Amino acid sequence: MTAAGFSSSEDARDYGRGLLVGRAVRLRPLAEDDLPHLDRWWRETEWQPLQQPTVRPRPVGTAADLFRAWSANTDPGAVGLSVETLEDPHLVGHVTVYGASLPQRTGTLGIILGPEHTGHGYGPDAVRVLLRHAFQEMNLHRVELSVWAFNTDARRAYERCGFVVEGRRREAVFHAGRYHDDVVMGILASEWSATGPS
- Reduce the secondary structure of 130-168 to three states and give it as a string: HHHHHHHCCCCCEEEEEEECCCHHHHHHHHHCCCEEEEE
- The tens-digit pLDDT sequence of the chain (198 residues) is 555 578 899 999 999 999 999 999 999 999 999 999 999 999 888 888 888 888 888 888 889 999 999 999 999 999 999 999 999 999 999 999 999 999 999 999 999 999 999 999 999 999 999 999 999 999 999 999 999 999 999 999 999 999 999 999 999 999 999 999 999 999 999 999 987 666
Predicted confidence at residue 1, as pLDDT, reads: 54
Torsion of CA 143, 155, 29, 62, to 10 degrees: -110
The domain limits of the chain are 9-194
Predicted confidence at residue 198, as pLDDT, reads: 60
Predicted confidence at residue 61, as pLDDT, reads: 83
Q: Which residues neighbour 178 within 8 Å (Cβ) at sequence distance 6 or greater?
A: none
Predicted confidence at residue 54, as pLDDT, reads: 85
Looking at domain 9-194, its CATH architecture is 3-Layer(aba) Sandwich (3.40)
Per-residue buried b or exposed e for 99-133, using 16+ beta carbons within 10 Å of the residue's own CB: ebeeeebbbbbbbbbbeebbeeebbbbbbbbbbbb
Helix, strand or coil for residue 64? helix
Predicted TM-score (pTM) of this structure:
0.92
